Amino acid sequence: MAKWGEGDPRWIVEQRADATNVNNWHWTERDVSGWSSERLRQLLLAVCVEGPEGASQLTDVDKLEGEASINNRKGKLFFFYEWTLTASWLGTASSGVKYRGTVHVSNLSDENDADDLDISVSLCKDHPDTPLLGLMRTRGVQEVRRVLAQYVQQLKSGLLPRMQQAGLANHPAPRCSSGPAPMCSSGPAPCPATCSFTLKETFQTSAAELYTTFISQELVQVFTRCAAVVDGRRGGRFQMLDGSVSGEFSQLVPDRSIQMRWRFRTWPSDCFAAVTLELQQRGDETELRMACSGVPAAEEDATREGWRRFYFQAIRQTFGY
């Protein structure tokens, strides 16, 4: 695995004087080593196995060295990780006698499958032999292998720590002027009074890359940090943030604009806002202008803040835009 920041020389193209990353030809990298380190510790410290011999559990992660990154090139994600770790385990025999030892993993990386991991278990030198060592070398190793595979699966599926969603609901009703009629079908729960608002943001990336970020299921899962369903075509539907947000794309102009019918789960049934995202390339930056109409008046502040936090800020923090 290449060292952080070096990248693979096969993907390097001629440097431009204006430093523009044209069509995201170069690698763009997001360091997720911090999250990986924390998540690995959480998973490992939850390992506990029991048997006729007694019970054993991991108590400390004494050594955790390595790095992890998510790399994006032309809308495709590449995951790199490489870790070496040593954890301590504590076993309590059926007789009540306690034993201590270590678990060592030397090759947790994108080049190895979970079944190929080299996991060794040892007993502290000052402890006599115990059947608990056999328990850790069988069921303990299986459990360690399972949680490490779980870490890899979460990294690759974009299930990073989920954002708190408290800011998306239960806000007091703001004062709001009337706006265009919302897109509602007839039904038992009509849309209440609605309003509209606009936002403007600037991103340090190309319009093409930003456009792809909004309509790619893989990229949406990464910046929202949870599973999503996104059909990035006209008439295609989307669902994200654990179903809190849903809708469909009503019009798509590649690299220029996205129009969608958008709703939050707590809104009255069949009520959708009309959202338009206009993208304008300005040198090495992209200006995004958002227009949102048909929002229930009581939800204006929550909707505005939700777009800022769970879309715009999340995209910047995840992809470095």
Range 158-176 average pLDDT: 34
- Residue 12, pLDDT > 50, answer no
State whether 293 and 270 are in the same domain. yes
State whether 184 and 251 are in the same domain. yes
State whether 52 and 107 are in the same domain. yes
Q: Which of 6-15, 19-28, 128-137, 311-320 comes out lowest in average pLDDT? A: 6-15
The domain of 58 spans 9-157
313, burial (CB in 10 Å: exposed 0-12, middle 13-18, buried 19+): middle
Please report the pLDDT score of residue 108 as a whole number: 93
Provide the whole-model pTM: 0.47
- Residue 188, pLDDT > 80, answer no
Average pLDDT, the chain: 80
**Does residue 161 or residue 148 have the better pLDDT?**
148
Phi and psi at residue 306, in whole multiples of 5°? -65, -45
Q: Nearest-CA neighbor of 255 among 288, 220, 210, 291?
A: 210
Please report the pLDDT score of residue 259 as a whole number: 96
The CA-based diameter of the chain, rounded to the nearest angstrom, is 78
**Which 3-state string (H, E, C) describes 224-270?**
HCCCCEECCCCCCEEEECCCCEEEEEEEEECCCEEEEEEEECCCCCC
Q: Which of 157, 189, 210 is the last residue of a domain?
A: 157
Range 162-176 average pLDDT: 31
State whether 215 and 265 are in the same domain. yes
Residues 6+ apart with CB under 8 A from 112: none
Using pLDDT thresholds of 50, 70 and 90, give the confidence band for residue 9.
Answer: very low
Q: Nearest-CA neighbor of 25 among 81, 80, 71?
A: 71
State whether 142 and 255 are in the same domain. no
Residue 79 domain-assigned? yes
Please report the pLDDT score of residue 317 as a whole number: 85
Q: pLDDT, tens digit, for every residue of 79-98? A: 889 999 999 999 999 888 99
Tokens representing residue 205 in the block? 């990336």
State whether 109 and 178 are in the same domain. no
Task: Write the CATH number for 104.
Answer: 3.15.10.20
State whether 273 and 171 are in the same domain. yes
**Does residue 117 or residue 8 have the better pLDDT?**
117
State whether 132 and 182 are in the same domain. no
State whether 59 and 196 are in the same domain. no
Q: Nearest-CA neighbor of 133 among 96, 106, 93, 84?
A: 93
Q: Which of 31-35, 159-163, 192-196, 198-202 comes out lowest in average pLDDT? A: 159-163
The Cα–Cα gap between 185 and 190 comes to 8
**Does residue 20 or residue 191 have the better pLDDT?**
191
- Residue 235, pLDDT > 60, answer yes
